[in-house]
Structure 1
Amino acid sequence: MTEPMVAVGMLLVLILAIFLGFPVAFTLMALGVGVGYYAYYDAGRMWAAYNRAVEAGADGWTLAETWIGGFFNNRIFDLFVNQTYSTMSNDVLTSIPLFLFMGYIVERANVIDRLFSALYIASRRIPGSMAVAALITCTLFATASGIVGAVVTLMGLLALPSMLKARYDVRYATGVICAGGTLGILIPPSILLIVYAATSGVSVVRMYAAAMIPGFLLAGLYLLYVVSRAVLKPEIAPRPSKEDVGDHTFLQICWMMLVSFVPMAVLILSVLASILFGLATPSEAAAVGAAGGLVLAAAYGGLTWERLKESVYLTARASAMVCWLFVGSATFASIFAYLGGQQLVSDFVTGLDMSPLMFLIVAQIIIFILGWPLEWTEIIVIFIPIFLPLLPHFGIDPLFFGMLVAVNLQTAFLSPPMAMSAYYLKGVAPPQVQLTDIFRGMMPYMAIVILCMVVMYVFPQTVFWLPNLVYGR
């Protein structure tokens, strides 16, 4: 068996192990170290040391120590240690736990229910007002937290019962929550963009600038669809009566928005502005955001010792998962490339003589399919490095490719049968809400995601205009 075939076997075993449910990070490390030991194995050096000890008349204990030392005298262990240190000291990744902590603490700040109520009252004259309020709340909360499961679950507990009580169509109501909850992995400060930047070597600030227009374009398309459906079919989103929303003056609505919408919006915008305008690094801005989240939670009476302890625990758990994924992926990728696997893939793809458009379509279809069984972290850390070396051949900017991937991965949470948003929502939805209804409600949003990707390809300035304006070419 040739070394490139061993590399391909590595990849197949990894995919099989993932489908069988083995922990991805530890599977990557085990395969990397195990196959790496074979790749770097030098039997002659180990036995030469052992024979020298025998010739010197060493005792049995010394011979055992010599053999064990020779067994571990393999470059794979040096590689594993170096990859672990490089990952843990990566300046880009230090912002991840801080952004995660900001999201978890904001989630517990008791601001989301007030925000949803204020937006519902403020938008009461718009068709589908409760769905509009839910979508805007999802977008803002998802941007602040970036944690899809938390956003969908919380909005499922808060907004879905209210919409069903207002006689909203089940598919219409569940679809808007599932779609809105996924926007946090696209709109900055997105953890996905940080992970992609660390994987690809693209600047985080350029990634954030590039994601602004596509992110809000997608949110705007969602909003346009929600209002249009309510206009075309008013029966799926009945207009609220005065008894439902109460009688509020303009000043009262402004005050409600001031105390609910403005604080979170200011927190998010201050973090983003400090990054985009070069006032702070992503890690420094994340630290400010985490501190702001604590202040926000305290101001709304949501900062308790138990909530703080839970936020720290969840942050540590999620950060450890991401970092160990990076360690395992870096070790696996190094051995995969050393054995010639990357070159084999590159030769195969370039030999197909595809156009850049065809390559992008094939790559995005593969990522779309991978989104069924895998989390976005696993796709970015494991499989995106296989595509990255091919981008120069097709003349594709890794920044543009990353934006397409980020938008495409919205579908990972919306595409049956493994749409995690649907399962998050089903777990907290009333019993009469069926999983099939949630799936059907999400289908139009998948079409909107594809439309957004087409717009990005036809008009690439949607990606490049802002980073080029702020940072130059």
Structure 2
Amino acid sequence: MSLEFMTVAMFATLVLAITLGHPLAYTLAAVATLFGLIDNGFSIPMLFDMFANNAWGLMNNYTLVAIPLFILMAQLLDRSKVSEALFESLYVVLGGLKGGLGLAVVVVCTVFAATTGIIGASVVAMGLLATPALMSKGYQKELASGIICASGTLGILIPPSIMMVVFGGLTGMKETSVGNLFAGAILPGMMLASMYFIYIFIRCNINPQLGPPISKAEASKYTAAQKWTMTMKSLVPPLALILAVMGTILAGVATPTEAAGLGASGAMILAFASKKLNMTVLKESAYATLKTTSMVMMLFIGGKFFSTVFLGMGGGDVVADLLIGSGMNKWAILAIMMLIVFFMGMFIDWAAILLVTVPIFMPIAMEIGFDPLWFSMLMCVNLQTSFLTPPFGYALFYFKGVAPEGYTMMHIYKGIMPFVLIQLLSLAILSLFPGIVTWLPGIFFGAS
């Protein structure tokens, strides 16, 4: 069989198996096994040796130790109700503005994103906490769902992010180390949160019925000093944790893995300080961490098997020859790669997309002269849309699971569309101005 046929057949088999609903990690490994056997003449020992070496290499990757530590940090923070206290204070501070409660959700999710990085936790927590408040104040259902779902996905981009730990572990390059990725994501993450903030503010000022302010009587219950005290009291603990994690990484004092350990310890201290720490919380957090880490690592192993077989049989060369040999300029090639990632995000989990596309696209991007760190960040921003794009956007279903009665999927689909367009606009801005990504890594780590 020709190499081109094998390449198309391998991808087609993967897509068919996923469409039939088979578990993704096992699907990746099974497709890799089938085509690996075909490619090497059905030599089982040879394929077993290759898979064993790849699995051992993953388990030996020190950077990936950060994954369970960051997940444990997120689980402990979720149970310590940090986001709840912050939302209650911002409810009073920003609620008097048109769209103020929506703005409060964006701020809380931005802070929560910088401390957890777990999308499900952010969307579910804010869905339970903020949706009743938004509905009681007369917010449009579509806008309320769009604000919570879009803001909740900031955790995948704003560091510390599990996705970037996986990305850094996949590439194994100095330019795309976890530290560089974290530094490179700070400004894009803040830019995207600011774009959400500005959009909500402008839209609700144009049409106040979409997001009415709280009553003047409710807004005037507290003095300016009381509002300041409430905000600082709820904001300082998570900011201290962010500084402990990100500050040590950017200062070069700790590796991302060491900083993750510091973050998990800090989250435990915050849970203790808020009187939420007990054996039940510890057991539930540890069990949730075990389940999530196992899922991520199984995906990692399956994806590694798939990419090893695909690249080993020459599939990466076929894709590279197709794109580079087509005669298109590098920006057209970039647009095609981003479109592929965007459309895959409608149907496949972000981890599988990374594991399948990064080994193929990264060499192509470097061959046509793109900065690897900048290209990596474009991939990460693009992958954020995978949580919002129908039909299988995870954030949409997380929200639907906790939404009040009367919410339909159509309300949610309509609500997220402006925010998906904002994400795509941010992708275009980063494409035009690479310095937004590369400036901070250049200051802290001397990256290009």
Once the two structures are superposed, residues 97-120 of structure 1 have per-residue CA deviations (whole angstroms, 9 ceiling, x without a partner) of 100110011000022221101011
CA drift at 1:3: 4.8
CA drift at 1:81: 1.1
Structure 2 length-normalised TM? 0.95
Q: Which residue of 1 aligns with 2:169?
A: 198
Q: Which residue of 2 aligns with 1:456?
A: 430
Q: Which residue of 1 aligns with 2:26?
A: 26
Q: Which residue of 1 aligns with 2:242?
A: 268
Mapped to 2, the partners of 1:316 and 1:302 lie a distance apart of: 21
- After TM superposition, list the pairs within 5 Å mapping 1:297-376 onto structure 2: 297-376=271-350
Work out which of the residue numbers 392, 404, 412 in structure 2 matches 1:418.
Answer: 392
Q: Which residue of 2 aligns with 1:48?
A: none
Comparing 277-286 and 434-443, the one that deviates more? 434-443
Q: Which residue of 1 aligns with 2:116?
A: 145
Q: Percent of counterpart pairs with the same letter?
A: 39
8 Å CA contact 2:102–2:147 kept in 1: the answer is yes
Q: Which residue of 1 aligns with 2:444?
A: 470
Which protein has the larger Cα radius of gyration, Structure 1 or Structure 2? 1
CA drift at 1:316: 1.2
8 Å CA contact 2:120–2:395 kept in 1: the answer is yes
The amino acid of 1:108's aligned partner reads R
Q: Which residue of 2 aligns with 1:9?
A: 9
Work out which of the residue numbers 267, 287, 292 in structure 1 matches 2:266.
Answer: 292
Work out which of the residue numbers 48, 56, 80 in structure 1 matches 2:51.
Answer: 80
CA drift at 1:33: 2.9
Q: Which residue of 1 aligns with 2:221?
A: 247
8 Å CA contact 2:184–2:440 kept in 1: the answer is yes
Mapped to 2, the partners of 1:373 and 1:38 lie a distance apart of: 27
| Alignment RMSD | 1.6
CA drift at 1:358: 0.6
8 Å CA contact 1:5–1:341 kept in 2: the answer is no
CA drift at 1:17: 0.9
Mapped to 1, the partners of 2:394 and 2:302 lie a distance apart of: 24
8 Å CA contact 2:96–2:215 kept in 1: the answer is no
CA drift at 1:364: 0.9
Once the two structures are superposed, residues 67-93 of structure 1 have per-residue CA deviations (whole angstroms, 9 ceiling, x without a partner) of xxxx85x22111111111110110111
Work out which of the residue numbers 102, 107, 117 in structure 2 matches 1:136.
Answer: 107
8 Å CA contact 1:170–1:437 kept in 2: the answer is yes
SS at match of 1:329: helix
The amino acid of 1:311's aligned partner reads S
Distance 1:298 1:471, change over 3 A: same
Q: Which residue of 2 aligns with 1:56?
A: none
8 Å CA contact 2:347–2:391 kept in 1: the answer is no
Comparing 379-388 and 3-12, the one that deviates more? 3-12
Pairing 1:227–2:201 present: yes
Q: How many residues align?
A: 444
Work out which of the residue numbers 134, 137, 160 in structure 2 matches 1:166.
Answer: 137
The amino acid of 1:98's aligned partner reads L
Mapped to 1, the partners of 2:100 and 2:203 lie a distance apart of: 12
8 Å CA contact 2:70–2:162 kept in 1: the answer is yes
The runs of 5 or more residues in structure 1 that have no matched partner are: 43-70
CA drift at 1:315: 1.0
The amino acid of 1:20's aligned partner reads L
Q: Which residue of 2 aligns with 1:47?
A: none
Pairing 1:278–2:269 present: no
Mapped to 1, the partners of 2:143 and 2:8 lie a distance apart of: 44
Q: Which residue of 2 aligns with 1:438?
A: 412
The amino acid of 1:14's aligned partner reads L
Q: Which residue of 2 aligns with 1:106?
A: 77
Mapped to 1, the partners of 2:35 and 2:204 lie a distance apart of: 57
CA drift at 1:418: 2.3
The amino acid of 1:294's aligned partner reads M
SS at match of 2:62: coil
The amino acid of 1:277's aligned partner reads A
Comparing 422-431 and 177-186, the one that deviates more? 422-431
Structure 1 length-normalised TM? 0.90
Once the two structures are superposed, residues 344-385 of structure 1 have per-residue CA deviations (whole angstroms, 9 ceiling, x without a partner) of 222112221121111111111111100011111111112222
Mapped to 1, the partners of 2:244 and 2:98 lie a distance apart of: 32
CA drift at 1:337: 2.0
Mapped to 2, the partners of 1:328 and 1:168 lie a distance apart of: 44
Q: Which residue of 2 aligns with 1:179?
A: 150
8 Å CA contact 1:110–1:301 kept in 2: the answer is no
8 Å CA contact 1:33–1:80 kept in 2: the answer is no
SS at match of 1:94: helix
Mapped to 2, the partners of 1:269 and 1:412 lie a distance apart of: 29
Q: Which residue of 2 aligns with 1:118?
A: 89
CA drift at 1:214: 0.7
8 Å CA contact 1:3–1:339 kept in 2: the answer is yes
The amino acid of 2:140's aligned partner reads D
8 Å CA contact 2:76–2:281 kept in 1: the answer is yes
Pairing 1:37–2:8 present: no
Mapped to 2, the partners of 1:258 and 1:345 lie a distance apart of: 53
Q: Which residue of 2 aligns with 1:63?
A: none
SS at match of 2:160: coil
Q: Which residue of 2 aligns with 1:407?
A: 381
Once the two structures are superposed, residues 7-56 of structure 1 have per-residue CA deviations (whole angstroms, 9 ceiling, x without a partner) of 432222112111111112122222323332343348xxxxxxxxxxxxxx
Mapped to 1, the partners of 2:297 and 2:220 lie a distance apart of: 49
CA drift at 1:4: 4.9
Once the two structures are superposed, residues 99-157 of structure 1 have per-residue CA deviations (whole angstroms, 9 ceiling, x without a partner) of 01100110000222211010111223432111111111112112221111221111111
Mapped to 2, the partners of 1:273 and 1:372 lie a distance apart of: 35
Pairing 1:91–2:62 present: yes
SS at match of 1:182: helix
The amino acid of 1:16's aligned partner reads L
Once the two structures are superposed, residues 367-424 of structure 1 have per-residue CA deviations (whole angstroms, 9 ceiling, x without a partner) of 1100011111111112222212211221112211111111112211222222222221
Mapped to 2, the partners of 1:425 and 1:314 lie a distance apart of: 19
Mapped to 2, the partners of 1:31 and 1:239 lie a distance apart of: 54
